[in-house]
């Protein structure tokens, strides 16, 4: 990787990052004014200078419709996951069976790996134990598993989560590459 | 609204006692960390119920700070324990 | 039904549901047999419960600045809960003996899948 490209990737990510931090600063003060905007931007710049983040490549686009689908499905999953845990917690007598499953993902990017991991931690049956960055593989702990079929269902759910995420924010090239890999693993 | 708030307070109080029980029982540092995390969340919930009841917003900054402190706390404990390795001194009996 | 009455009812429903979820999270924390299942209880109902409580507060306060702060807490909660759960889970898997009798399969322990 040439240093210029690396630097550009870093700069491209720094500005939205600084703006995001400024927004958080304004929200923390709970008041919108010139002082908050300028002060927040200064603090954000200093923070990003002192603690620089490793460059993250993101050249995807947000597609509105799949993005709404991703968020809606996430909210639905969060609610069903909570209901499932509530049911297990309030059922007397038998203890839940669990499993630790391995889910090889198809996307090859730290960013998408992170997002998928974050999202799957809150959906039914998901507690991230270990991530293998080289192989893009997640290891999850799943609660309330009764049979091998449930294990496969949990795995399929994480993969569907990944597909929704890629459809929502990945760039065209990344999506095509991802689809090719997903097709290959199915065959 | 008052009845609702009392019911909420009762549920949150029982929940806080239960997490304290788990914190006392342990058996490992990580179990206590998880319990502490939940306890902070219940504290935040309690402050939230109070803020909703009185419509006063003075406790909202405290909610912000607590929700951040809980996160930093559990992550640093997890890192600390993770470095001890298998059979470290922190474990006590196995869960 | 006026807007203020409606928002009070919505707030009450959110607060009750959120408190109930916090209570079940605590019950799960005490009842579940091992650390991983306890963490399931401590992450999912707890996050949703907190979000509901914040929603309940948002229905009662009107000031835009306070709504912003509540939004920040909600966003932080959604971002940090999975991260801290992952950190604790990883430390737990590496340091403690996992109770295999509660597991149907353990694909992480399998040497050839690692």
Nearest CA in chain C to A124: C44
What number is the average pLDDT over the span C99-105?
A: 67
What number is the average pLDDT over the span A167-175?
A: 74
pLDDT > 50? residue A14:
yes
Chain A residues whose beta carbon lies within 8 Å of the beta carbon of residue C63:
30
pLDDT band of residue A55 (cuts 50, 70, 90) is low
Question: Tell me, what's the pLDDT at B57?
Answer: 76
Q: Which of A27, A88, A97 sits opposite C102 (nearest CB)?
A: A97
Number of CB pairs < 8 Å for B and C?
173
Q: Give me the CATH number covering residue B51.
A: 1.10.287
pLDDT > 80? residue C34:
no
Question: Tell me, what's the pLDDT at A56?
Answer: 62
Chain C residues whose beta carbon lies within 8 Å of the beta carbon of residue A131:
86
CA distance B69 to B58: 18
pLDDT > 50? residue A1:
no
pLDDT band of residue A125 (cuts 50, 70, 90) is low
Pick the residue with more confidence: B93 or C56?
C56
Query: How much of chain A exceeds pLDDT 90, in percent?
Result: 0
Nearest CA in chain C to A137: C114
pLDDT > 50? residue A29:
yes
> How close is the nearest chain B Cα to the Cα of C2, in Å?
16
What number is the average pLDDT over the span A27-50?
A: 81
Domain boundaries along the sequence of chain A: 3-50, 64-186
Asked if residues B81 and B87 have their Cβ atoms less than 8 Å apart, the reply is no
Q: Residue B90: inside a domain, yes or no?
A: no
> How close is the nearest chain C Cα to the Cα of A41, in Å?
17
Asked if residues A26 and A36 have their Cβ atoms less than 8 Å apart, the reply is yes
> How close is the nearest chain C Cα to the Cα of B14, in Å?
7
Domain of residue B77, residue span: 2-83
pLDDT > 60? residue A99:
yes
Pick the residue with more confidence: C46 or C102?
C46
> A100–C108: do the CB atoms touch at under 8 Å?
yes
> How close is the nearest chain B Cα to the Cα of C62, in Å?
9
Question: Tell me, what's the pLDDT at B36?
Answer: 85
Question: Does B2 contact C at CB distance below 8 Å?
Answer: no
Question: Tell me, what's the pLDDT at A59?
Answer: 65
Among A10-14, A38-42, A68-72, C35-39, the range scoring the smallest mean pLDDT is A10-14
**Average pLDDT over all residues of chain C:** 79
What number is the average pLDDT over the span C103-110?
A: 65
Question: Does C54 contact B at CB distance below 8 Å?
Answer: yes
How many other CB atoms are there within 10 angstroms of residue B46's CB atom?
21
**Average pLDDT over all residues of chain B:** 79
Dihedral angle at the C-alpha atoms of A150, C95, B74, B53, nearest 10 degrees? 40
CA distance A57 to A40: 25
Query: How much of chain C exceeds pLDDT 70, in percent?
Result: 82
Chain C residues whose beta carbon lies within 8 Å of the beta carbon of residue A89:
24-25, 27-28, 31-32, 41, 45
With a cut of 70, list the residues of chain B below it in pLDDT. Answer: 82-95
When divided into structural domains, chain B yields a total of: 1
Question: Tell me, what's the pLDDT at A141?
Answer: 80
Question: Tell me, what's the pLDDT at C114?
Answer: 40
> B61–C63: do the CB atoms touch at under 8 Å?
no
> A95–C48: do the CB atoms touch at under 8 Å?
no
Which of A6-15, A39-48, B80-89 has maximum average pLDDT?
Answer: A39-48
Q: Residue B57: inside a domain, yes or no?
A: yes
| Structure-token pair, residue B33 | 């960390």
| Structure-token pair, residue A37 | 């905007």
How many other CB atoms are there within 10 angstroms of residue A160's CB atom?
12
Nearest CA in chain B to C95: B86
pLDDT band of residue A10 (cuts 50, 70, 90) is low
Question: Does C23 contact B at CB distance below 8 Å?
Answer: yes
Rg of the Cα atoms in chain A: 20
> A98–C63: do the CB atoms touch at under 8 Å?
no
Query: Which residues neighbour A96 within 8 Å (Cβ) at sequence distance 6 or greater?
Result: A88, A143, A144, A145, C32, C37, C102
What number is the average pLDDT over the span C61-70?
A: 78
Question: Tell me, what's the pLDDT at C55?
Answer: 87
pLDDT > 60? residue A44:
yes
pLDDT > 80? residue C14:
yes
Neighbours of chain B (3+ CB pairs under 8 A): C
Asked if residues A6 and C51 have their Cβ atoms less than 8 Å apart, the reply is no
Nearest CA in chain B to C84: B75
CA distance A25 to C72: 10
- Write the DSSP symbol of residue A144: S
> B49–C69: do the CB atoms touch at under 8 Å?
no
> A99–C105: do the CB atoms touch at under 8 Å?
yes
Helices marked H in B26-95: 29-54, 60-84
């Amino acid at each position: 990787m040439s240093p210029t490209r690396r630097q550009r990737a870093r700069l491209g990510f720094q500005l939205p990052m600084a703006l995001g931090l400024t927004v958080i600063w304004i929200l923390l003060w709970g008041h919108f004014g010139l002082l908050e905007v300028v002060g927040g931007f200064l603090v954000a710049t200093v923070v990003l200078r002192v603690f620089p983040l490793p460059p993250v490549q993101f050249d995807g686009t947000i597609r509105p419709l799949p993005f709404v689908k991703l968020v809606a499905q996430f909210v639905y999953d969060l609610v069903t996951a909570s209901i499932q845990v509530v049911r297990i917690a309030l059922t007397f007598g038998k203890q839940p069976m669990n499993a630790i499953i391995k889910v090889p993902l198809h996307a090859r990017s730290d960013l998408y790996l992170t997002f998928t991991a974050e999202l799957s931690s809150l959906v039914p049956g998901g507690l991230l134990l270990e991530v293998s960055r080289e192989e893009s593989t997640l290891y999850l702990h799943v609660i309330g598993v009764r049979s091998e079929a449930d294990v496969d269902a949990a795995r399929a759910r994480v993969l569907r989560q990944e597909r929704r995420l890629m459809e929502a924010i990945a760039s065209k090239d990344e999506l095509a590459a991802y689809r090719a890999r997903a097709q290959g693993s199915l065959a | 609204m008052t009845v609702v708030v009392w019911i909420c307070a009762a549920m949150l109080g029982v929940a806080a006692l239960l997490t304290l029980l788990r914190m006392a029982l342990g058996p490992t540092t990580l179990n206590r960390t998880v319990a502490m995390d939940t306890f902070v969340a219940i504290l935040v919930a309690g402050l939230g119920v109070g803020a909703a009841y009185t419509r006063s917003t003075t406790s909202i900054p405290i909610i912000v700070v607590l929700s951040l402190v809980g996160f930093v706390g559990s992550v640093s404990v997890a890192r600390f324990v993770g470095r001890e390795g298998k059979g470290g001194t922190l474990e006590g009996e196995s869960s | 039904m006026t807007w203020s009455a409606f928002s009070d009812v919505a707030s009450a429903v959110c607060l009750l549901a959120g408190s109930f979820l916090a209570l079940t999270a605590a019950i799960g924390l005490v009842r579940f047999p091992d650390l991983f299942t306890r963490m399931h209880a401590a992450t999912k109902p707890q996050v949703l419960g907190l979000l509901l409580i914040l929603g309940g507060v948002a229905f009662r306060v009107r000031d835009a600045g306070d709504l912003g702060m509540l939004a920040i807490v909600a966003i932080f909660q959604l971002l940090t809960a999975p991260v801290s759960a992952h950190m604790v889970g990883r430390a737990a898997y590496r340091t403690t003996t996992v109770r295999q009798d509660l597991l149907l399969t353990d694909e992480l322990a399998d040497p050839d899948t690692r």
